[in-house]
């Protein structure tokens, strides 16, 4: 596909209409090994709405002074459609002969998924036990009860607090400890991603991009030619994180923890999706996303509408009150 080096893109973006997608194999997808991207009509509708709103934001970056590149981050909770929408946005840019690449942020945790899940649980339980001791609530008898709950993956379940009131201190301390891990440099190599974004904007090519599958045998780096790429689309839960630098246009795809959990259950992507601990993780991630939402250039509702930050905040408050 031809790609004018840095010619005006205004004409190509003006009066844009979404291309007809007859072959999904032509849609570029993220670069995480083994990740399956299944694009449906709802993703096409949402991506089309996003792209129309994106045009006036990205055009000055591509038509302006050097480097004439843009970094777009499609972020949100697990299962909200980041991979699909990010893939479609790149497809739309490529159809306009504005070369785009989809980068998966899930390649950049310090640990493969299985090990990271274990680390999350370890962080929670270590902090929880320390909190129980600090509250003067630890006894060997209670520890035996904890062992039973842990064996059933129920120690994070608030339903057990009525029978074991001391469990409230355990869970509160564990949640606090987990909040100090999730979405922080302890869990994810934000420095590496930030460096890659800076190198992309500086015109460096190729870039050595990390590949992380779901086990230790699928971990490596690829040299990716970025010489013709003008738009880098990152699809990632943490694409608007305070520790990440270099994103020009963060786009938040909104969902509630309940919607995220329902999607994970249907997709059966990870084990124990119904566990109270997984629910806690999703709630913390949702809180992190909400706290950083004011930085998003575009916020997209579950229904596919572009909403203001004030509207987003009101909707989230209403949904929380309804629980």
Give percent of the chain with pLDDT exceeding 70.
91
Taking the C-alpha atoms of residue 295 and residue 258, their distance in angstroms, rounded to an integer, is: 24
Q: What tens digit of pLDDT does each residue of 250-275 get?
A: 999 998 666 666 666 555 555 455 79
By DSSP bridging, strand 249-253 and strand 298-300 are parallel
pLDDT score at 273: 59
pLDDT score at 4: 46
For residue 184, being part of any structural domain is answered with no
pTM summary value = 0.90
pLDDT score at 2: 39
Range of the domain at 226: 10-107+190-322
* Token pair of 310 as six digits: 């004030």
pLDDT at 73 over 70: yes
In the listed set 125, 149, 179, which residue is the last one of a domain according to the structure?
179
Number of independent structural domains in the chain: 2
Taking the C-alpha atoms of residue 38 and residue 26, their distance in angstroms, rounded to an integer, is: 13
Task: Give the mean pLDDT of the chain.
Answer: 90
pLDDT score at 51: 96
Are 175 and 218 members of one domain?
no
For residue 82, being part of any structural domain is answered with yes
Are 120 and 99 members of one domain?
no
**DSSP readout, 132-181?**
HHHTT---HHHHHHHHHHHHTT-TT-GGGTTT-TTHHHHHHHHHHHHHTT
Average pLDDT over residues 200-220: 94
Are 307 and 210 members of one domain?
yes
pLDDT score at 40: 86
| CATH number of the domain encompassing residue 288 | 3.40.50.300
Confidence of residue 3 (pLDDT cuts 50, 70, 90): very low
């Amino acid at each position: 596909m031809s790609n004018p080096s840095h010619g005006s893109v205004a004409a190509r973006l003006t009066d844009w209409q979404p291309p007809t997608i007859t072959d999904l194999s032509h849609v570029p997808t993220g670069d995480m090994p083994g990740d399956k991207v299944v694009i449906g009509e709802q993703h096409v509708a949402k991506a089309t709405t996003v792209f129309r709103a994106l045009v006036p934001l990205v055009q000055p970056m591509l038509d302006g002074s050097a480097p004439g590149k843009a970094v777009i981050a499609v972020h949100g909770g697990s299962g909200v459609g980041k991979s699909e929408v990010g893939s479609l946005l790149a497809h739309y840019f490529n159809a306009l002969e504005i070369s785009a690449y989809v980068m998966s942020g899930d390649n950049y945790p310090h640990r493969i998924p299985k090990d990271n899940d274990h680390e999350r649980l370890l962080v929670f339980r270590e902090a929880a036990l320390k909190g129980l001791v600090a509250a003067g609530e630890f006894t060997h008898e209670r520890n035996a009860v904890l062992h039973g709950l842990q064996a059933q993956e129920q120690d994070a379940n608030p339903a057990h607090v009525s029978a074991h009131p001391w469990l409230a201190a355990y869970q509160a301390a564990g949640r606090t400890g987990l909040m100090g891990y999730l979405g922080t440099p302890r869990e994810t190599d934000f420095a590496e991603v930030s460096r890659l974004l800076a190198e992309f904007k500086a015109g460096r090519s190729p870039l050595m991009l990390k590949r992380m599958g779901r086990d230790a045998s699928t971990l490596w780096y690829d040299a990716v030619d970025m010489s013709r790429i003008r738009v880098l689309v990152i699809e990632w839960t943490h694409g608007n994180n305070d520790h990440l630098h270099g994103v020009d246009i963060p786009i938040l795809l909104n969902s509630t923890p309940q919607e995220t959990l329902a999607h994970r259950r249907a997709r059966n992507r990870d084990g124990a999706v119904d566990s109270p601990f997984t629910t806690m993780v999703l709630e913390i991630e949702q809180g992190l996303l909400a706290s950083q939402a004011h930085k998003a250039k575009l916020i997209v509702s579950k229904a596919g509408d572009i909403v203001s930050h004030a509207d987003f905040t009101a909707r989230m408050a209403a949904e929380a009150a309804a629980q």
